[in-house]
Amino acid sequence: MRTNAINYYNQLGNTYDKGYSSSYWLLELAVSLTQIKQYISGETLLIDIGAGTGTYTYHLKHFVKDIKAIEPAPNMAKEFRKKNPDIDIYIARAEEIPFPDNSFHVAIAMGDVLSYVDNLEIALQEIHRILKPEGYLIASVDNFHFFIKDVLKYGLPSDINKIKSTGKTVIGNASLHFETQTFRHTEIPQMANQFGFIHKDMIFKLAAFTEDDDISDINYGVSIEFQLNRQVEYIGNAQHIQFVWQKRR
């Protein structure tokens, strides 16, 4: 059945984390956190946008001054509260962030939130609005260069034409799926400029490992990843692109 991202994740609820417990996904989390921690401190006011079950908030809350979180799927927010009973989470979309202008030093939008929003332009305008001048947006998105391989292999001609012309494709499972917006790596710096940001950094996750790999040493995996994950020749291996933008003054 075709649905939207909010309904899809709302139906996952308490089963979501089980799907991301393998060593591959633990490594991806570790890589993401390694980059994020370069941009936060004990004085940081951070917002977790599309916070899901609260994994990123859980791992970051002791490194910053304060975290707020928003999540549009109530069942995901329910799991968030179990993991982070000390953190406020608001049922809200990225297109309607319930905080004043210039509220946060850093916004994270992990789990490909910007690939799944209904209106990317409004979401980015909202994130720009709630960030302080020179604040950072750190986000992950679905990688066009990875997903097109599956579409070329398994998709219909119409599916191939769609992802090539719009970047959009369908993800999920046979019983429930939704549309995602994939991004080419060359588009991301251009988008930063369009929405009032300066593009600062971009990594390709994961460049060296696949979901079939059993990664026994996560720290070793992180070190290998950061040797490769900014090199464009490996971009087709990575399911996700994670980027850092800084709001202009």
Domain boundaries, the chain: 5-143+181-247
The pLDDT of residue 221 is above 80: yes
Question: What percent of the chain is predicted at pLDDT more than 70?
Answer: 100
Give the per-residue pLDDT at 176.
87
**Chain centre to alpha carbon of residue 184:** 15
pLDDT digits (tens, 9 = 90+) for 51-76: 999 999 999 999 999 999 999 999 99
The pLDDT of residue 107 is above 80: yes
Superfamily of domain 5-143+181-247: Vaccinia Virus protein VP39 (3.40.50.150)
**Chain centre to alpha carbon of residue 106:** 14
The pLDDT of residue 172 is above 90: no
Sign of CA dihedral 58, 60, 61, 62: positive
Residue type, 60: L
Average pLDDT, the chain: 96
Q: How confident is the model at residue 249 (pLDDT cuts 50, 70, 90)?
A: confident
pLDDT digits (tens, 9 = 90+) for 225-242: 999 999 999 999 999 999
The pLDDT of residue 174 is above 80: no
Q: How confident is the model at residue 134 (pLDDT cuts 50, 70, 90)?
A: very high
Which of 128, 104, 101, 103 has the alpha carbon at shortest distance from 114? 128
